[in-house]
Structure formats: structure tokens, C-alpha cells
């Protein structure tokens, strides 16, 4: 299906009929509630990784046996593939939402009603045996190629092996038969008593083995998934054509299974020649005899993985004991979860039962930097942000009796909101999330379902009393950081009397460094408007307008201008701006009243108000921009006056997660039909939120007053 080009890839000036049709179709798919019938999928995944959920209210109410007020999707969507909650919005007779773009890979999820009532998606045939409420979906891509199904008939076989202590799953390669003289080496994946089926349902072990085997990237082998022990080994030897000598035996596992694999390899050196620990928790090189393994390879996720600190201790112990090992390096993008363990298995398998030249870490993996330890309890302010983007949240002791505490923040792909649970630690709640990309983040605490402000964070958002903010530093976030003291512009309040609201009101005004109230040439002026539910404070508290303008000015990218951020919460915005805000700004600041030196832009509601001003007073502002807003009807619009009086009309929109995106097609189509000239910045990746609007302002400001 055709789609809009993305910001940064191209500049699109006109909308084709095909793209218009595609967007209209998407509007129906994303926003319109689907009929509540059993065979209508609750989940649709696009080729570019957007997961669209549409959950019928009636189906959920039938499943839980009563009414429902909220529905969320729980899944491994969070940073480092952490388990997180994505809230859906009720639209008509369905709860819906779009999340993405998700990286290629396997995702697990369940539907949860009213915070505690789990529901299995009945329209998704996938299952996770150990988690009856879970379903899975796969996002294809080159990065996840080893996790994809091989063509029918080209893979190996998985069967159940029953033995005295229980059962195990056994994969045999394509072409394996129970007859003949050829024997195979064997890899035991220890499950530590957990469900062996998880290695298939969540670990994609069969797909990984099938793909690597088809590429001849691994030696032909038998792989046994179960709780390792002599009984299982004897059962495997009695049923399959496998070598019994230690040179042909390997053991590995994830989590506690990794711990068991280490204990077996280090404590019984005569049984295995190869061992791998995926997030294992062993910290000592236990064993009476020094093992002579051909391969001992350790794997760990980042600092969110409990095995991270354990691995620091274990490597030191192995060094002291002079036991040879390999370390795959710290996986920067995953913790203790199946996303990491899939990668570990893909790396480990080709090293078995053969000689390899590469003994180093996987590409992109880092070194251990010592044990990770957040500041002691009670350290303020919070959250604690490391240089590499890991953020630790800690509550005060006032929630000691709470049953659950979550952090709800804009850390999903593109900046959508996800909730992540904190863990009780004494009389506080704590949790570490990351790594987060350098950027500006905002969040609130959810304590037993109630939205609360993080009292340990001194930041505030005037229009959102429960929100707090923090910044992860880095080059990507440079334009959102404070400039050195004394080098930036000034932001000060402007009080004026509103004849529309019949009250005294306030705007915030940014003046550039070196602003001269007596300059002979008046400064151009840019009126920048907020959205619905917001106020004149939001562009500085949330939009980082001061930081963006300061950096642009110091970088020489914008002309000296005055920026006025007014209060748009009025019944008649046109009158408020023209009769109250603009005159008050002119009376206080040395700004031009020449339309060619005036600009107007706004986000969401403010974008709609900007379009309204453009229609009613074409040419009054020579520079016009709208962020995530619709033009509306073209009736009565004077296109000629707009074209002749407007030097720049530039439009911005978020991606599929922006609820305005589907209807944006009609805006571009209307402008095309009217013959109005405009520029379209392309889709800005992200939702209907500040992550997108900050990027829009970053793009727009250098374009003003230069034509």
C-alpha cells in the first residue's frame, strides 16, 4: 500500500491520488471500530512494524462477565524489551490504539481489562503453553531473519521425549532418521524446571535451528530442551543416535537454566565440552577440578538484566581460578528476556562441535563496566539518569502500603506512552528502565491506579499536575538541552487584558540574545500556539522552545526574532490574537507589524486555529505552519489571496500513532483541490505528542523570515 514519505527522507509538496486513497483506507482501519465478531482480528501488523489493536467492548465484557472501563495491552514493548502496558482508547464500541514502529522480532502480549482481568485474544491462533492468556506476533525484517519460519518441509522435527522424571522436547535436523551408523552431537538446553515449550513459543528455537541448519551455519546435531540430568541423558542416548562422549556434549540455558548449565560445566568437567550461560546467575567458579572445556561462553543483557552484576562477579572468579572463557559482551538493547536469549542462541549454536576463528563479542556489544548500583534509597532528586541512558525511578516512603506502582512515560517507539511496573524495595518502590535514546521525557506515577506526581522530581508541568520531566543527554538531544549560562535568550511573561475572555491573561515571550528594544529595524515576530488542554506555559515546559530557539540562534540558523507564546483557550482565537495578544506584544516589544515579518504556527488545536486565521485573514501572517492539525472545509476559502499573501505554508504530521494521521489525507487533498501552495515536511516519526512537535519546531524555526 502506498504511504507518505517520512521526515528526513524526502520533501513532499503534493499528495497523489493513490496516497490519498491509502490514507483514507487507513483512517477506516485505524479509527473506525470494527464489528465485534469472532473472526475479525483484534490485531493487525503492518509491513513496517505498526501494531494496530482494535478490541471490541462487547467481546471483553463477555470474557470478564461484566462491564469494562479500560483496556490495555501488556507485552514486551518497553525499552530493552521490558514487559510494559499500552493503554487503548475507547472509540465507539471498541478500544483501539496503534503502537510502533516495532523492531523486527517476536512479540508476546495479552489483553487486560480494568487493570487486573486478563483476556486471551481469541482472534489470534498463536499460543504460549506456559502463559494461557498470551498470544504472539512476528514483525518480519532482516534483523529477525533467523526467527522466521523456513519453507514447509525444509525444517527439522520437534517431538516429545517421555522419560522416568518427566518429558523433554527434542529437535532433530532435516534428514535425521533413527537408522544408520551416523551419530550426532547433542546440545542440552536446560530449562531449570520451567516450561520447555517456552523455548519454542517464545525463544523461537525451532526457527533458529531450522534457519541456521539450512544455511549450514551449524553442525548437524540433536537439541534437547528440558531439565538436564542423568535420567534425561540416558533417555536421549537410548532413543536417538547421539554420541555419548563429553567432546560431543554441550549444555546451555537461560536465566536459572543458564545457572544450571554453568554449575554442570564447572562442577562436572568430564561431562560437557561446550557450555553457554544466557543471563545465568552463578557468581563463583564452583568445582573441585579445573574444567577443560573447549568452550565456555557467557552472555548477559544490560544493567536491567539481574545477570549483569552476577556476570561481573563470575568473570572475576573465573579469572582468579584461571578458567578460560569467552564473553559475548553486554547486549545494549535487551535485559533478561527472550529477545536477548534468542540472540544468544543464534550466536552460540555455530560455535558448537567445530573450530571457529571468532572468539570475540557480538557486533555492538559492550564491555562490563563494573557492578551497577543506583544511588542509596532516599537520594533525591529523582530519577537517576546514567550517561548511557539508564533511568532509575524511586518513590518516597508514602507508597509503602501500595499494591502496585507503575511509571507511565513516553518511552515507546516514537514517543508513545507505556507503563512499566516498579518493584517493592523496602518501604519504597524502584525500577531501572533503559537504555533510552538521548531526548526529553515526561512521565507520571500510577499508584494503585491513581495518577500521581513524583514528589522527588522538582520539575513541573503547569497544565499536567501529575507530570514530571527529565532529559537524557546526548548529541541527538543537543537542541533540547540548556545552553551555557548567559548565552541564551530570555523568556519573560507578558500580561495583557483579554476582551474576548474578559480577564487578565499571560503570554510568554522569548527574545533573542542581544535583543535591542531601540533597534532601528523592528524584529520579526513569531506567534507560537499550544494545543487543546494546554496553555501558554507548555511550549517552554514541554516543547523546550527556549532551548531550541537558543541553540538555533547560537548556531546561526535563525534570524533574530521575538517569539510570543499566547493563551489560545478562548472562544474566538482570531479576535484574541489580533485584538489582544498581538497589540500587547507590539506595545511592549520592538516588533514589526508588517505581515511579511509575522509568522503564526500551532500544534493540534493551535494548528487548527492557525488554519482558521489563514482562512479568515489570508496574508495577515506571511509564514504559516500547522503541527498535527487539519485544514477543515475549503468552502469560502480565497486560495488566490492565500497564495499571494503567504510566503510559506508548511505542514507537519506524526506517523500512524498520531490520531490525526488518518484524516490528514483530506487536508492535503483539500489544499490540492483549492490550488493552495504548501510544503509538507513528510511524516515525523512519533505520535500526537511533544516528541513530534519539538522536531517540528526544530525544522520550522530556521525557515522563517528568509524568503
Tens of pLDDT, residue by residue over 110-140, are: 999 999 999 999 999 999 999 999 999 999 9
Q: Is 422:438 a contact under the CB 8 Å cutoff?
A: no
pLDDT above 70: residue 96: yes
The lowest-confidence range among 24-28, 71-75, 312-316 is 24-28
DSSP state letter for 624: E
User: Under the phi-then-psi rule, with left for phi > 0, alpha for psi from -120 to 50, and beta for the rest, what region is 449?
Assistant: left
C-alpha triplet 52, 54, 57: angle, nearest 5°: 160
Q: Is 296:250 a contact under the CB 8 Å cutoff?
A: no
Q: What are phi and psi of 64, to 5 degrees?
A: -100, -5
Q: What are phi and psi of 23, to 5 degrees?
A: -70, -40
Mean pLDDT of the chain: 93
Instruction: Name every residue whose Cβ is closer than 8 Å to that of residue 684 and which is 6 or more positions away in sequence.
Output: 6, 7, 652, 653, 654, 655, 692, 695, 696
**Mean pLDDT over residues 381-385, rounded?**
95
Q: Is 595:619 a contact under the CB 8 Å cutoff?
A: yes
Residue 5: the pLDDT is 56
Residue-wise over 351-367: b if at least 16 C-beta within 10 A, else e? bbbeeeeeeebeeebee
d(CA 430, CA 424): 6
What order of strands is seen across the sheet that includes strand 94-99?
43-45, 51-56, 94-99, 89-91
Q: Is 394:383 a contact under the CB 8 Å cutoff?
A: yes
DSSP 640-676: HHHHHH-SEEEEEEE-TTSTTTTTHHHHHHHHHHHT-
d(CA 47, CA 140): 8
Report the Cα 434 to chain-centroid distance in Å.
10
Three-state secondary structure call for residue 140: coil
pTM of the model: 0.90
Q: Summarize pLDDT for 321-336 with one digit per residue, the tens.
A: 999 999 999 999 999 9
d(CA 551, CA 482): 8
Residue-wise over 517-554: b if at least 16 C-beta within 10 A, else e? eeeeeebbbbbbbbbeebbbbbbbbbbbbbbbbbbbbb
Q: Which is it for strands 166-172 and 326-330: parallel, antiparallel or unpaired?
A: unpaired
**Mean pLDDT over residues 211-227, rounded?**
97
pLDDT above 70: residue 433: yes
Q: What are phi and psi of 269, to 5 degrees?
A: -65, -10
Distances (CA, A) of 508 to 71, 491, 545, 585, 678: 39, 6, 11, 10, 29
If 0-12 CB within 10 Å is exposed, 13-18 middle and 19+ buried, where does residue 679 land?
middle
d(CA 113, CA 172): 41
Q: Which residues pair with 528 in a beta bridge?
A: 601
If 0-12 CB within 10 Å is exposed, 13-18 middle and 19+ buried, where does residue 458 land?
exposed
**Residue of 431, 191, 203, 417 whose CA lies nearest to 303:** 431
**Residue of 426, 424, 428, 466 whose CA lies nearest to 449:** 466
Three-state secondary structure call for residue 128: coil
d(CA 560, CA 552): 10
Q: Which residues pair with 327 in a beta bridge?
A: 298
d(CA 54, CA 217): 41
Instruction: Name every residue whose Cβ is closer than 8 Å to that of residue 391 and which is 6 or more positions away in sequence.
Output: 383, 384, 385, 432, 433, 434, 436, 441, 470, 472
Confidence of residue 33 (pLDDT cuts 50, 70, 90): very low
**Mean pLDDT over residues 252-262, rounded?**
97
**Mean pLDDT over residues 242-258, rounded?**
95
Residue 4: the pLDDT is 54
Residue 285: the pLDDT is 83
Confidence of residue 269 (pLDDT cuts 50, 70, 90): confident
DSSP 288-318: SS----SEEEEEE-STTSTHHHHHHHHHHHH
DSSP state letter for 529: E
Confidence of residue 707 (pLDDT cuts 50, 70, 90): confident
Instruction: Name every residue whose Cβ is closer than 8 Å to that of residue 127 and which is 6 or more positions away in sequence.
Output: 134, 135, 201
DSSP state letter for 579: I
Q: Which is it for strands 525-529 and 598-603: parallel, antiparallel or unpaired?
A: parallel
Residue 228: the pLDDT is 93
Which domains are assigned to the chain?
A: 35-140 (2.60.40.10), 151-351 (3.40.50.1820), 384-475 (2.60.40.10), 482-703 (3.40.50.1820)
Q: How many CB atoms lie within 10 A of CB 215?
A: 11
**Mean pLDDT over residues 510-537, rounded?**
98
Q: What share of the chain is helix, strand, coil (3-state, %, to 5)?
A: 25, 25, 45
**Mean pLDDT over residues 384-388, rounded?**
95
Confidence of residue 292 (pLDDT cuts 50, 70, 90): confident
Q: How many CB atoms lie within 10 A of CB 339?
A: 25
Helix axes 664-674 and 17-31, enclosed angle (nearest 10): 150
**Residue of 508, 471, 528, 462 whose CA lies nearest to 697:** 528
17: part of which helix (H) or strand (E)? helix 17-31
Three-state secondary structure call for residue 111: strand
Q: Is 431:423 a contact under the CB 8 Å cutoff?
A: yes
d(CA 645, CA 475): 38
Q: Which is it for strands 503-511 and 222-226: parallel, antiparallel or unpaired?
A: unpaired
Distances (CA, A) of 581 to 95, 224, 497, 529, 530: 40, 73, 9, 11, 14
d(CA 431, CA 350): 36
Distances (CA, A) of 437 to 411, 551, 596: 9, 20, 39
If 0-12 CB within 10 Å is exposed, 13-18 middle and 19+ buried, where does residue 142 land?
exposed
Amino acid at each position: 500500500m502506498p504511504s507518505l514519505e517520512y521526515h528526513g527522507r524526502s520533501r513532499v509538496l503534493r499528495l497523489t491520488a493513490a496516497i490519498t486513497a491509502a490514507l483514507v483506507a487507513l483512517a477506516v482501519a485505524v479509527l473506525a471500530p470494527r464489528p465485534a465478531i469472532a473472526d475479525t482480528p483484534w490485531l493487525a501488523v503492518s509491513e513496517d512494524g505498526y501494531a494496530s489493536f482494535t478490541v471490541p467492548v462487547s467481546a471483553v465484557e463477555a470474557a470478564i462477565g461484566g462491564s469494562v472501563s479500560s483496556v490495555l495491552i501488556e507485552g514486551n514493548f518497553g525499552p530493552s524489551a521490558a514487559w510494559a502496558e499500552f493503554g487503548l482508547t475507547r472509540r465507539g464500541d471498541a478500544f483501539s490504539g496503534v503502537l510502533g514502529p516495532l523492531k523486527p522480532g517476536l512479540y508476546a502480549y495479552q489483553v487486560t481489562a480494568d487493570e487486573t482481568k486478563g483476556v486471551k485474544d481469541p482472534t489470534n491462533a498463536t499460543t504460549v503453553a506456559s502463559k494461557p492468556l498470551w498470544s504472539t506476533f512476528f514483525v518480519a525484517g532482516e534483523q529477525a531473519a533467523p526467527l522466521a519460519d523456513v519453507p514447509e518441509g525444509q525444517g527439522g522435527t520437534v517431538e516429545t521425549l517421555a522419560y522416568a522424571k518427566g518429558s523433554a522436547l527434542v529437535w532433530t535436523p532435516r534428514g535425521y532418521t533413527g537408522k544408520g551408523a551416523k551419530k550426532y552431537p547433542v546440545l542440552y538446553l536446560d530449562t531449570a524446571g520451567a516450561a520447555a515449550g517456552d523455548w519454542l513459543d517464545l525463544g523461537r528455537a525451532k526457527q533458529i535451528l531450522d534457519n541456521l541448519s539450512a544455511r549450514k551455519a551449524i553442525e548437524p546435531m540433536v537439541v534437547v530442551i528440558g531439565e538436564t540430568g542423568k535420567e534425561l541423558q540416558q533417555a536421549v542416548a537410548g532413543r536417538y543416535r547421539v554420541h555419548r562422549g563429553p567432546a560431543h556434549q554441550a549444555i546451555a540455558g537461560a536465566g536459572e537454566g543458564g545457572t544450571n548449565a554453568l554449575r554442570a560445566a564447572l562442577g562436572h568437567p568430564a561431562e560437557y565440552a561446550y557450555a553457554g550461560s544466557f543471563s545465568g546467575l552463578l557468581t563463583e567458579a564452583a568445582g573441585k577440578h579445573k574444567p577443560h572445556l573447549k568452550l565456555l561462553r557467557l552472555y548477559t543483557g544490560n544493567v536491567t538484566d539481574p545477570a549483569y552484576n552476577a556476570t561481573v562477579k563470575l568473570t572475576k572468579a573465573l579469572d582468579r581460578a584461571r578458567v578460560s572463557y569467552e564473553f559475548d559482551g553486554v547486549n545494549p538493547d535487551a535485559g533478561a528476556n527472550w529477545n536477548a536469549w534468542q540472540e544468544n542462541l543464534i550466536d552460540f549454536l555455530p560455535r558448537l562441535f567445530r573450530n571457529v576463528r571468532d572468539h570475540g563479542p557480538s557486533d555492538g556489544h559492550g564491555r562490563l563496566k563494573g557492578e551497577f548500583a543506583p544511588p542509596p534509597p532516599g537520594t533525591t532528586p529523582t530519577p537517576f539518569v546514567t550517561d548511557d541512558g539508564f533511568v532509575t525511578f524511586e518513590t518516597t516512603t508514602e507508597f509503602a502500603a501500595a499494591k502496585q506502582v507503575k511509571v507511565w512515560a513516553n518511552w515507546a517507539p516514537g514517543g508513545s506512552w507505556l507503563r512499566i511496573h516498579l518493584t517493592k524495595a523496602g518501604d519504597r518502590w524502584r525500577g531501572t528502565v533503559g537504555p533510552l535514546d538521548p531526548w526529553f521525557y515526561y512521565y507520571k506515577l500510577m499508584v494503585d491506579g491513581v495518577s500521581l506526581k513524583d514528589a522527588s522530581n522538582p520539575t513541573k508541568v503547569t497544565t499536567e499536575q501529575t507530570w514530571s520531566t527529565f532529559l537524557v543527554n546526548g548529541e541527538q538531544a543537543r537542541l533540547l538541552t540548556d545552553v551555557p549560562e548567559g548565552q541564551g535568550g530570555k523568556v519573560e511573561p507578558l500580561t495583557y487584558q483579554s476582551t474576548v475572555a474578559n480577564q487578565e491573561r499571560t503570554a510568554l515571550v522569548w527574545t533573542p540574545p542581544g535583543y535591542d528594544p531601540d533597534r532601528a529595524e523592528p524584529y520579526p515576530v513569531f506567534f507560537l500556539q499550544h494545543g487543546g488542554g494546554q496553555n501558554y506555559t507548555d511550549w517552554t515546559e514541554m516543547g523546550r522552545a527556549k532551548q531550541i530557539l537558543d541553540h538555533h540562534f547560537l548556531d546561526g540558523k535563525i534570524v533574530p526574532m521575538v517569539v510570543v507564546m499566547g493563551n489560545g483557550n478562548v472562544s474566538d482565537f482570531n479576535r484574541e490574537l489580533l485584538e489582544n495578544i498581538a497589540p500587547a506584544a507590539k506595545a511592549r516589544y520592538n516588533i514589526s507589524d508588517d505581515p511579511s515579518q509575522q509568522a503564526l504556527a500551532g500544534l493540534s488545536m493551535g494548528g487548527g486555529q492557525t488554519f482558521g486565521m489563514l482562512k479568515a485573514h489570508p496574508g495577515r501572517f506571511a509564514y504559516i505552519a500547522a503541527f498535527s492539525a487539519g485544514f477543515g472545509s475549503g468552502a469560502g476559502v480565497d486560495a488566490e489571496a492565500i497564495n499571494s499573501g503567504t510566503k510559506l505554508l508548511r505542514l507537519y504530521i506524526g506517523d500512524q500513532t498520531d490520531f490525526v494521521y488518518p484524516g490528514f489525507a483530506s487536508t492535503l487533498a483539500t489544499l490540492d483541490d483549492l490550488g493552495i501552495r504548501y510544503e509538507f515536511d513528510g511524516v515525523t516519526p512519533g505520535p500526537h505528542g511533544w516528541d513530534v512537535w519539538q522536531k517540528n519546531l526544530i525544522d520550522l524555526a530556521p525557515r522563517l523570515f528568509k524568503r
